[in-house]
Amino acid sequence: MTIAAPTATLLDPAQAYALWAESYPPHAHNPVMLAEERAMLALLPASLHGLAVLDAGCGSGRYLLHALARGARHVTGVDLSAPMLARAAAAVGEAGNAGRVTLVQGNLDALPMPGGGADLSLCGLAIGHLPDLRRCLAELCRVTRPGARLLCSDFHPIGPALGWARSFRSGGTAYAVRHAQHLYGHWHDACKAVGLEIEDVREPMLDPADIAPGAHFDPLALQVPVALVLALRRVPHANRRRGR
């Protein structure tokens, strides 16, 4: 999320990431992502030993790498973008963990996974790419084992209200990725509808130390949260409660 309102060509996620993938590293690479990641990792168990982990919307693989570093038995990464999955595969291969990772192309609202297969599900800064929050959460609920935890993050809904955009440059042109604004109330209602309990909510702020000298950004960014991070749990018999 750019802490400014640049003039940029708006693209759907598939188009955007086809252009962005080549320069998109498998780690947090701006102050907003650093703030979001600190909150997510604070909620992620220190040890994932023996667990099967899903990273939905895995992108170039940063949370795949974090899960592997914390001992996950196996991690499945799902993303709609083949170029981003190629970046993730390269990152995992460089870390020497290719045998513990499966990468699959697919959408958040129709995950190509069997029900209840994940002991922990992660979804970092991806749900805002889809307008139907309830459908995305229903899918994450479906593929997560009953009683298990899900950690989800998105850009804080105050950002789009202030005109901030998730933007990048490719070939000298500025682009922005289409983003849906999901308010906390929407999360609350959607979670209740699909069989997820909200256990914890974090609203991380920027750390001024992460902002490079002379960087151009909206000064309001130091006064408001930049991400919404939620720890959820799939309640037992969630499938029966969803009415799908």
Residues facing 174 on adjacent strands: 169
In 56-95, which positions are buried (b, 16+ CB within 10 angstroms) versus exposed (e)?
bbbbbbbbbbbbbebebebbbbbbbbebbbebbbebbeeb
The model's pLDDT over 197-208, given as tens digits with 9 standing for 90+, comes to 999 999 999 999
pTM for this model (two decimals): 0.93
| Domain ranges (residues) in the chain | 9-173+180-242
Q: Which residues neighbour 2 within 8 Å (Cβ) at sequence distance 6 or greater?
A: 164, 165, 166, 167, 176, 217
| Contact status, residue 64 vs residue 171, Cβ threshold 8 Å | no
Class of domain 9-173+180-242: alpha beta
* Residue pLDDT, tens place only, 55-67: 999 999 999 999 9
Which pLDDT tens digit goes with each residue over 68-102? 999 999 999 999 999 999 999 999 998 888 899 99
For 100, the token pair is 């513990």
